[in-house]
Amino acid sequence: MVENKHEYQEQHDITNDGEVSAENIEMDAAAQNEPAETELTDAATEKMAELQDKYLRLSAEFDNYRKRTLKERVELIKNAGEDILKELLPVIDDFERAIDTMQTAVSMDAVSEGTQLIYNKFKSIVEGRGLKEICPVDEDFDPDIHEAIAKAPAPDGRTGKIIDVVQKGYSLNEKIIRHPKVVIGE
């Protein structure tokens, strides 16, 4: 037992008028709630571990997705021309037959006709893939589309217009892949 009244008051924070201080009540309540706080801490730790696991799995999944799409893109670029090359194989066969025929042909008309047929076949294949010829004769010169390589006196007053195409230009699906080389009238 406590021998001295002052010691008892100090131990329990009792004021001189016999009341227990609010601080002492809070400390006693905290001591009683320690198991509840421990349970909260354990639950929070479990939740944090669960979220950490989800984060790691999501991060790994995204990394795998990124690697897979990169690999698919490389494969697509590597084999992008496969379809067009398959379509051009018959044209190569036709050229080989034409070369063999030229060595034994009696009439050049037949060789010329065969070559024209091969050219038409080749042209229809590439046009089917979106390739279009740019042949701007008699159009106004546009430096965004045409490449001027020379100027010549303009017959019939076609100043500033294209009077000759030295090399045809081509566009693929509305994008110019080779600008036509032209002569401009002055």
CATH of the domain at 172: 2.30.22.10
Residue 4 belongs to some domain of the structure? no
The 10s digit of each residue's pLDDT in 30-51 is 555 555 667 778 889 999 999 9
Considering the domain architecture, whether residues 117 and 137 belong to the same structural domain is answered as: no
Domain count, the chain: 3
Residue 109 belongs to some domain of the structure? yes
The torsion region of residue 156 among left (phi > 0), alpha (psi -120 to 50) and beta comes to left
In the chain, % of residues over pLDDT 70: 80
| For range 149-170, the mean pLDDT | 86
C-alpha distances out from residue 173 to 33, 55, 129, 131, 144, Å: 74, 44, 8, 7, 17
The more confident residue out of 60 and 37 is: 60
The 10s digit of each residue's pLDDT in 113-159 is 889 999 999 999 999 989 999 888 888 888 888 999 999 888 777 78
Residues 110, 97 contacting (CB under 8 angstroms): no
Q: In what order do the strands lie in the sheet with 131-134?
A: 131-134, 169-172, 175-178
Query: Does 52 have pLDDT greater than 50?
Result: yes
Task: State the Cα torsion 124-179-145-177 to the nearest 10°.
Answer: 60
The more confident residue out of 176 and 13 is: 176
Closest CA to 137 of 166, 107, 113: 166
| For range 162-184, the mean pLDDT | 91
Domain C-terminal end among 11, 46, 78: 78
Query: Does 160 have pLDDT greater than 50?
Result: yes
- Enter the tokens of residue 68: 């897979």
The more confident residue out of 65 and 84 is: 65
Give me the domain span that covers residue 73.
Answer: 20-78
Lowest mean pLDDT, pick from 23-27, 76-80, 146-150: 23-27
Considering the domain architecture, whether residues 26 and 68 belong to the same structural domain is answered as: yes
pTM over 0.75: no
